[in-house]
Amino acid sequence: MDLTDPRWRDGRTRLGLAAGAALLALVTVGPWIAGEAAGTVRLDHMLEGPGPAGLLGTDELGRDILARVVVASRLTLGLGLVATLLGASVGVLVGALPAVTPPWVGRLIATLTNLALAFPTLLLTLFVAAILGAGAQSALLAIALAIAPIFARLTHTLAAGVGGADYVTAARALGARPLTILARHVLPNIAGPLVVTAVMAMGGAVVVLSGLSFLGLGVQAPAYDWGGLLNHALGRVWTDPAPALAPAAAIVFTGLALSLAGEAASILLGLSPVRRRPPPAARQAPASSLLSAGGLLDIGGLDVEVADARGAPLRIVKDVSFSLRAGERVAIVGESGSGKSMTVLAAAGLLDGRATASAALATFGAAPLLGARATADERRLGGEMPVIFQDPLAAFNPLLPVGVPLVEVGMRHGGLSRPAARARAAERLGEVGLIDAARRLTQPPHAFSGGMLQRAMIATALMAEPRLIIADEPTTALDVTVQRQVLERLGAACDETGAGLLLISHDLAVVAETCERVLVMYAGRLVEDLPVADLVSGPAHPYTRALLDCLLGPDADRGKPLPVLEGRPPRPEEEIAGCAFAPRCAFADARCRIETPQLAVIGARRVACWRPLQVRRAA
Amino acid sequence: MDRLRFLLRRVGRFAVSLFALFALTFLLVHFVPGDPVRASLGLLAPQELVEARRQELGLDRPLPEQFARHVAALARGDLGTSLSVRRPVSEVIAERLPATLALAGGAMLIVVLAGTGLGLAAAAVGAGGRRPGADMAFNATSGLLTSTPEFVTAVALTSLFAVALSWAPVAGRGGAASYVLPTLALALGPAAALARVVRTEGLRVLEEDYMRAARARRLSAWRLYAVHALPNCLTAALTVSGLILGGLVAGTVLVENVFAWPGLGSAIVTAITQKDYPLTQGVILVLGALVLLINFGVDVLITWLDPRSALARH
């Protein structure tokens, strides 16, 4: 038992174990302490309210009610436990039967189990109670019978899952008999979920038993359980509520404690995931290199952190600064995991709760992008900075017609009435090349191909007046044949509206055709920012060079295999000293491995490298 | 076409379940160990009376014939005669069913509206673990309510609002005020259970790409949550609603007994203690049919709202 295991450290495990222990103490020690007070008849203290004769009052024979509630825990929980064990045993047997019987028996059992599960436990219990009459034994049997179908179905489902496992197949091939397989291989492997369910079912059994006794159908006087005590106290609730509240609280506590204990068992057995701690709050923005302002989009010193599996913060975007002029088309390139998507989502203010962004500067026009925004700014962003996502099928709401986003943008940001927005939506869909656009607007997304949906997303971007279109790998999820079409559409959309473009891609060929400037990212940092023209003539950062070589081949010799960049980028949790690319870089020296290079301006570009490559002037 | 076939299959399942329920309630009296008529009339009843009652109940005939008569009687709306009050069971049920339906219907409305609304709100507030405090408060409150059985809620509500504060009547069915406590007692637990499911589903939905796309369009909170998120949570909410609302129907039995509500629930307890088998059979049949009807209705609703996922589940 390793107490440092995160399963033991999870708060829910501790809470569940504590609640279970408290319940156990109540049943074992409680009656031993309170037994005498619960049984002593004191005719001079009949029906008293809370006072010296009883903390919660006395009953019609002067007996201490609190003591009686404590003593009743043994009968209540005992009956609940026996009913659960009985019901679980019957259920497991019935549920395991299909493994050893002909298939039609299995189907019959499954049908009957499902039928029984359609009815609430209490109704089944009332049915059995009607047959057997009122009393503790019949209540116990009734609850056991009502619980059994739950275990029958669970066993059936779990056994079917295990039945296909390799070791069961192997045992069968070795000639083991079905019963042996069941006892040796199947049941031990499904014991965990059964135990967890049993703990939780016992909570339910106690509640139903209390309900039956409360109705007068369960435990009969002179024996008493919590339901009986509650029923008894109800008669005087308008003069004295205290005697009713004690058994009520006991029933609720038991139900809660057993459900918490079940959850703890589930975590300890590895059936439920350990809860992750929430991510840390945003930190103070770091001192940043080379802030520039006055563009359309200005980002300075952007950091993004996410929480790892243990809840520790991971910095996945580090001190990124860039600026876009109005109408400028800029690409962000890098391998997957380089932080390019996170950078752009943070810039668009669209990170979800698990990631936190901080920046010294983040503005679009005059609107701040991080933190609180005025409503007017917020609304401007929706029309002026549309976002096109990677997977078009996932980006359309599966339950709403494709036209909904278009009409929404037209109405909210384009200032149109609903009919006008519909008309413009049909027009825009037609412009991006969808035939029969008015009818297409009302169809669900699964009636479209990926390429058509991506064009519909471009049409959505054109519904108001876009000033900067953000596109996160817009063609990655698409068929190769339609990738070019979609990119051309995107370029045309920028031409027509004069909007700028921030395109994420890992395809330098696409970038070279579509954009004017390239931002290269590696391991969460911006390593080079250069005009597209310089990309071909000669990048300054060895990483950009390597990316380019992968695309073109060093001599563009088609006979040789394409060069592959050796090694892998560092994982976000790795501590990096110096330049993150140094381990893969052919030019790295001692300084590269110690000191992190900052972006420095060289001509029309910015490079973060201690040993930038010779920049050849374009011929 | 698939949708139609799916619906037909659901109708078939509904019919089979109803038949099984009917057969079980018919057999109830035959499962009773010993002589049910003697048990019902008591040890001191004269033998002639026992024989007469046995004949009246048709218990002297062969089982298949009894079943056939039972089916024929049901087709006429005849559920037999109550042994304790000596009136037709159908009459007793017709008199008490409206009270139960009003109670259960009101509670279901609260469960569905409050459960989905609060669940989605909790998801929106707590998305991404931004407000651990609010999350913890929601989990603790809803967890406590979910594990509090309806009869305990009923007793707690009575002692607080009816006795201590005198805001509502203690018991009985009268004006609108008499509905407040029984309906709440019945609805609170199931509403909390549904809210927990909707919150979990909502947290999943809010992380979907289409929700991020909707946030990129900077929609109003109403459009974002009610138009885009809610429909995607509904299938899961409905699926558990069948179970939760079925349990609520059974819960009326307990709540009616706390508030002396003149419905089927208070009738069945008396019937069971007095061994009034025809009345017990009749009430179990009606309550059971109500549960099956709810499950069927939920299935149809899911198919209608979200045909793809309903068919995929199948």
A450 touches chain B (CB under 8 A): no
Name the pairing type of β-strands A361-364 and A297-307: antiparallel
Whether residue B28 and residue A251 make contact (CB cut-off 8 A), yes or no, is no
Whether residue B273 and residue A134 make contact (CB cut-off 8 A), yes or no, is yes
- Number of CB atoms found within 10 A of residue A425's CB: 31
* pLDDT of amino acid A251: 93
A11 touches chain B (CB under 8 A): no
Higher pLDDT, B104 or B49: B104
Residue A64 DSSP class: B
- Rounded to 10 deg, the angle between the A121-132 and B277-305 helix axes is 160
Kindly tell me if the per-residue pLDDT of A280 is higher than 50: no
Q: What separation in angstroms does the CA of B306 have from each of A22, B230, B301?
A: 46, 12, 8
**Which chain A residues are closer than 8 Å to B216 by Cβ?**
348, 350, 382, 386-387
Q: Return the exposure string of B33-70: e unless at least 16 CB atoms fall within 10 Å of the residue's CB, then b.
A: eeebbeebbeeeeeeeebeebbeebebeeeeeebbeeb
Integer distance in angstroms from the first to the last C-alpha of chain B? 15
Single out the residue of A344, A286, A393 nearest to residue B208, CA to CA: A393
**Which chain B residues are closer than 8 Å to A387 by Cβ?**
213, 216
Cα separation, B120 vs A90, in Å, equals 39
Whether residue B214 and residue A397 make contact (CB cut-off 8 A), yes or no, is yes
* pLDDT of amino acid B108: 94
* pLDDT of amino acid A79: 94
Kindly tell me if the per-residue pLDDT of A78 is higher than 80: yes
Assess contact for A380 and A365: CB atoms under 8 A.
yes
Mean pLDDT of A294-303: 85
Q: Which range (A175-189, A310-324, A431-445, B206-220) has the least confidence?
A: A175-189
Q: Which residue of B has its CA nearest to A376?
A: B218
Please name the residues in contact with A32: beta carbons below 8 A apart, sequence gap of 6 or more: none
* pLDDT of amino acid A53: 74
Whether residue B277 and residue A348 make contact (CB cut-off 8 A), yes or no, is no
pLDDT, tens digit (0-9, with 9 covering 90-100), for B55-97: 877 788 888 888 888 888 888 888 888 888 889 999 999 999 9
Higher pLDDT, B2 or B309: B2
Whether residue B148 and residue A252 make contact (CB cut-off 8 A), yes or no, is yes
Q: How confident is the model at residue A276 (pLDDT cuts 50, 70, 90)?
A: low
Task: Determine phi and psi for A508, rounding to 5 degrees.
Answer: -65, -30
Look up residue B79 and give its two tokens: 């559920």
* pLDDT of amino acid B129: 66
- Number of CB atoms found within 10 A of residue A182's CB: 19
**Which chain B residues are closer than 8 Å to A203 by Cβ?**
147
Cα separation, A59 vs A57, in Å, equals 7
Q: How confident is the model at residue A149 (pLDDT cuts 50, 70, 90)?
A: very high
Cα separation, B260 vs A234, in Å, equals 12
* Best of B29, B146, B152 to mutate (most A CBs within 10 Å, chain A): B152
Highest mean pLDDT among A47-61, A177-191, A370-384, A506-520: A506-520
Q: Which H/E stretch holds residue A225?
A: none
Higher pLDDT, A453 or B55: A453
Q: Which range (A348-357, B185-194, B214-223) has the least confidence?
A: A348-357
* pLDDT of amino acid A619: 34
**Which chain A residues are closer than 8 Å to B293 by Cβ?**
none
Mean pLDDT of B257-268: 89
Highest mean pLDDT among A76-90, A118-132, A210-224: A76-90
Whether residue B287 and residue A123 make contact (CB cut-off 8 A), yes or no, is yes
Interface A–B counts its CB contacts (< 8 A) at 193
pLDDT, tens digit (0-9, with 9 covering 90-100), for A12-32: 888 889 999 999 999 888 888
* pLDDT of amino acid A281: 45
Whether residue A122 and residue B251 make contact (CB cut-off 8 A), yes or no, is yes
Cα separation, B180 vs B161, in Å, equals 10
> Which residue, chain included where needed, has tokens 């992968």?
A550
Q: Which range (A171-185, A258-272, A356-370, B237-251) has the least confidence?
A: A171-185
Mean pLDDT of A294-318: 82
Q: How confident is the model at residue B194 (pLDDT cuts 50, 70, 90)?
A: very high
> Which residue, chain included where needed, has tokens 């990124």?
A320
Whether residue A214 and residue B295 make contact (CB cut-off 8 A), yes or no, is no
User: Which alpha helices (DSSP H) does A97-177 contain, by range?
Assistant: 103-117, 121-132, 136-163, 166-173
Kindly tell me if the per-residue pLDDT of A344 is higher than 60: yes
Mean pLDDT of A253-271: 88
Query: Which ipTM score applies to this complex?
Result: 0.89
Supply the mean pLDDT for chain B: 86
Q: Which residue of A has its CA nearest to B272?
A: A130
Amino acid occupying residue A161? G
Indicate whether this model's pTM tops 0.95.
no
Mean pLDDT of B200-207: 89
**Which chain A residues are closer than 8 Å to B288 by Cβ?**
119, 123
Distance from CA of B301 to the nearest CA of A (A): 15
Assess contact for B56 and B45: CB atoms under 8 A.
no
Q: Which H/E stretch holds residue A367?
A: strand A367-368
Distance from chain centroid for Cα A546: 37
Kindly tell me if the per-residue pLDDT of A284 is higher than 80: no
Q: How confident is the model at residue A426 (pLDDT cuts 50, 70, 90)?
A: very high
Distance from CA of A544 to the nearest CA of B (A): 31
Single out the residue of B207, B208, B220, B210 nearest to residue A457, CA to CA: B210
Q: How confident is the model at residue A271 (pLDDT cuts 50, 70, 90)?
A: confident
Assess contact for A319 and A288: CB atoms under 8 A.
yes
Higher pLDDT, A203 or A486: A203
From the list A352, A379, A446, the residue facing B207 with the nearest CB is A352
Q: How confident is the model at residue A286 (pLDDT cuts 50, 70, 90)?
A: very low
Name the burial class of residue B19, with classes exposed (0-12), middle (13-18) and buried (19+) by CB atoms within 10 angstroms of its CB. exposed
Highest mean pLDDT among B28-37, B68-77, B155-164: B68-77
* Best of A117, A124, A254, A352 to mutate (most B CBs within 10 Å, chain B): A352
Q: Which residue of B has its CA nearest to A470?
A: B216
A32 touches chain B (CB under 8 A): no
Amino acid occupying residue B134? A
Q: Which H/E stretch holds residue A19?
A: helix A11-28
Mean pLDDT of B114-134: 84
- Number of CB atoms found within 10 A of residue A351's CB: 18
From the list A122, A130, A353, the residue facing B250 with the nearest CB is A122
Assess contact for A547 and A540: CB atoms under 8 A.
no
Mean pLDDT of A211-238: 88
* Best of A15, A122, A207, A356 to mutate (most B CBs within 10 Å, chain B): A122
From the list B209, B257, B284, the residue facing A215 with the nearest CB is B257
Mean pLDDT of A47-58: 78
* pLDDT of amino acid A561: 53
Share of chain A above pLDDT 70, in %: 91
B148 touches chain A (CB under 8 A): yes
A120 touches chain B (CB under 8 A): yes
Distance from CA of A461 to the nearest CA of B (A): 9
Mean pLDDT of A261-287: 66
B44 touches chain A (CB under 8 A): no
Whether residue B209 and residue A394 make contact (CB cut-off 8 A), yes or no, is yes
Kindly tell me if the per-residue pLDDT of B186 is higher than 90: yes
Plot region of A226 (φ>0 → left; ψ -120 to 50 → alpha; else → beta): alpha
B266 touches chain A (CB under 8 A): no
Q: How confident is the model at residue A114 (pLDDT cuts 50, 70, 90)?
A: confident
Mean pLDDT of A359-376: 77
Please name the residues in contact with B301: beta carbons below 8 A apart, sequence gap of 6 or more: B238
**Which chain A residues are closer than 8 Å to B147 by Cβ?**
203, 207, 252, 255-256, 259
Q: Which residue of B has its CA nearest to A120?
A: B247
- Number of CB atoms found within 10 A of residue A28's CB: 11
Supply the mean pLDDT for chain A: 83
Kindly tell me if the per-residue pLDDT of A475 is higher than 90: no
B214 touches chain A (CB under 8 A): yes
Share of chain A above pLDDT 90, in %: 18
Cα separation, A262 vs A199, in Å, equals 5
Distance from CA of A255 to the nearest CA of B (A): 6
Mean pLDDT of A441-463: 89
**Which chain B residues are closer than 8 Å to A354 by Cβ?**
128-129
Q: What separation in angstroms does the CA of B264 have from each of A59, A130, B96?
A: 31, 15, 6
B124 touches chain A (CB under 8 A): no
Q: Which H/E stretch holds residue A263?
A: helix A242-268
* pLDDT of amino acid A189: 79
B314 touches chain A (CB under 8 A): no
Distance from chain centroid for Cα A467: 34
* Best of B13, B38, B218 to mutate (most A CBs within 10 Å, chain A): B218
Cα separation, B151 vs A230, in Å, equals 10
From the list A118, A245, A381, the residue facing B295 with the nearest CB is A118
Mean pLDDT of A85-105: 87
- Rounded to 10 deg, the angle between the A226-234 and A187-214 helix axes is 20
**Which chain B residues are closer than 8 Å to A207 by Cβ?**
147, 149
* pLDDT of amino acid A617: 46
From the list A131, A251, A404, the residue facing B149 with the nearest CB is A251
From the list B163, B227, B308, the residue facing A237 with the nearest CB is B163
> Which residue, chain included where needed, has tokens 């109403």?
B222
